[in-house]
Amino acid sequence: MEYCDGGTIDQVSREGLTEDRIRVYTKELLTAVQMLHDNDIVHRDIKGTNIYLTSSGCLKLGHLTCAVKLKSQTTNEMDKLVGTIAYMAPEVITQTCKEKHIRASDIWSVGCVIIEMATGKPPWHDLGNSFQIMFRVGTGETPPTPENLCDAGKDFLSHCLEQEPDKRWTASQLKDHPFAKVFSKCETTDEESDDDCDDVDDDYYDYNDDQDVEAQAEVKSETPEKGESDQEDERFFGGKTNPAAFQRLVKDLRNMKKDAHKFGIEGTPRGDNLFIWDVKLTGFPADTALGKDIRNWAEKHKREPVVYLEMQFPDEYPMAPPFVRVTRPRFKFFSGHVTIGGSICMETLTKSGWTPTNDLQSILAEIRSEIMGDPNMRLDSNPDREYGEAEARDAFNRMVNRYDWNK
């Protein structure tokens, strides 16, 4: 690859790009990405700093450090978190990327580069925190669409940033979109071979199909340097530092958002702490004694007619179970698996009964079912008195020891 003295896309974007120039660069980038994909290579780290410009203004997609050659016999090529977080597709963050989706992850990154060109800043620049970006993208959010893009540009971007990789357009389809239908002086024909017009780093042609995948798949995530940003990350982690737990929780939350409401469950992290969730159990029948108790309590104290839960996830999650407790309303002593301290005491939530494959949504549905199904389940005479965490843990530990569930 020759010396590209025109800078990088991230540099020229900061100086400001016209929409015409954005469209030209988009077309050239798609040509490079299509060339890779047609040769069964996925870049996996497309971003402004990895896209170079020659002195004549032609675009070069370089830096193939994270690239992989797709092989039908290889199943673990996407097992690691590879790339740069702000440009990373949802299926990469949640580790649900199948081989047929791998190319689509590059297309998400292309959309992020368009945002970068239109705004002069990387996507999610206002967060400045890798784990908050993972949380947003992993739970179904997309980067904001720049208002200065034309309607065709916004439509083009929507096809790049489609949450479902199966529905995301390919590089070939995107090249036929009106936004990319522009003339580029760097376009080549079959007869042309001017080096200045190659869209991919020349290192591409030296790519060794037999290279060890692990060597190619080193994590290149750009996380903040030590200092104040590290403290922000720790706050978002809830003071914990286990990326595996973080990824699993993002997947759990994504599943919860999708259809948990069908089972009378609503749950969200508390503020920016993914390791503590506030959960609501809803839909208690009005014709039952418990349902009447809950509605009377809610009307009297101006609350929702729900049961409020708190879930605390350990750093070892999902290898260790969450601690689940009721916060309000207060129940009569030990009914429906609610202890005197408000903790939920079920073997499933102990070392004895927990398995890492347990489905969080199913567990919450089971808790709701146990509470609703106990005919003796009633609220305390002072139901608005909130349970404390200390009393909940004490009661939980007593029950675990009684039934020998601590193995």
216: which DSSP letter?
H
In terms of DSSP H, where are the helices of 39-125? 90-93, 102-119
- Would the CA dihedral through 126, 131, 132, 137 be positive or negative? positive
Structure tokens that stand for 255 in this block:
């599943």
pLDDT bucket at 100, cuts 50 / 70 / 90: low
Query: How many angstroms separate the CA atoms of 49 and 53, rounded?
Result: 11
For the chain, the average pLDDT equals 82
Query: How many angstroms separate the CA atoms of 224 and 233, rounded?
Result: 9
User: Which pLDDT value is given to residue 344?
Assistant: 93
Is the pLDDT score of 256 beyond 60? yes
Continuous segment of H or E residues that includes residue 68:
strand 68-69
Query: How many angstroms separate the CA atoms of 111 and 381, rounded?
Result: 57
User: Which pLDDT value is given to residue 215?
Assistant: 31
Position 31, amino acid: T
Residues 6+ apart with CB under 8 A from 290: 284, 371, 372, 377, 378, 379
In the residue annotation, 45 being an active-site residue is answered as yes
Whether the CB-CB separation of 60 and 52 falls below 8 Å is answered with yes
10 Å CB burial of residue 392 (0-12, 13-18, 19+) is buried
Structure tokens that stand for 46 in this block:
């497309």
Q: pTM of this prediction? A: 0.68
Domain spans, the chain: 9-216, 241-403
Please give the residue that has the higher pLDDT: either 376 or 158: 158
Continuous segment of H or E residues that includes residue 324:
strand 323-328
Q: Which residue has 């309607």 as its token pair?
A: 151
Neighbours of 294 (CB within 10 A): 25
Q: What angle do CA 157, 49, 17 make, to 5 degrees?
A: 55
Among 16-30, 77-91, 166-180, 188-202, whose mean pLDDT is lowest?
A: 188-202
User: Which pLDDT value is given to residue 142?
Assistant: 94
Query: How many angstroms separate the CA atoms of 280 and 146, rounded?
Result: 35
Among 72-86, 135-149, 150-164, 217-231, whose mean pLDDT is lowest?
A: 217-231
241-403: what CATH class? alpha beta
Structure tokens that stand for 314 in this block:
């350990």
Query: How many angstroms separate the CA atoms of 407 and 400, rounded?
Result: 10
**Average pLDDT, stretch 300-315?**
95
What are the CB-based long-range contacts (under 8 Å, 24+) for 140-147? 140/90, 140/254, 140/257, 143/111, 143/112, 143/115, 144/115, 145/115, 146/115, 146/118, 146/119
Q: Which residue has 């089971």 as its token pair?
A: 366
Catalytic residue among 10, 20, 40, 45: 45
Residues 6+ apart with CB under 8 A from 140: 90, 163, 254, 257
pLDDT tens-digit series, residues 120-140: 999 999 886 787 888 889 888
Q: How far is CA 155 from CA 140, 169, 174, 177, 287, in A?
A: 18, 12, 11, 9, 50
| Fold of the domain spanning 9-216 | Transferase(Phosphotransferase); domain 1 (1.10.510)
Continuous segment of H or E residues that includes residue 253:
helix 243-259
359: which DSSP letter?
-
Whether the CB-CB separation of 348 and 354 falls below 8 Å is answered with yes
User: Which pLDDT value is given to residue 201?
Assistant: 52
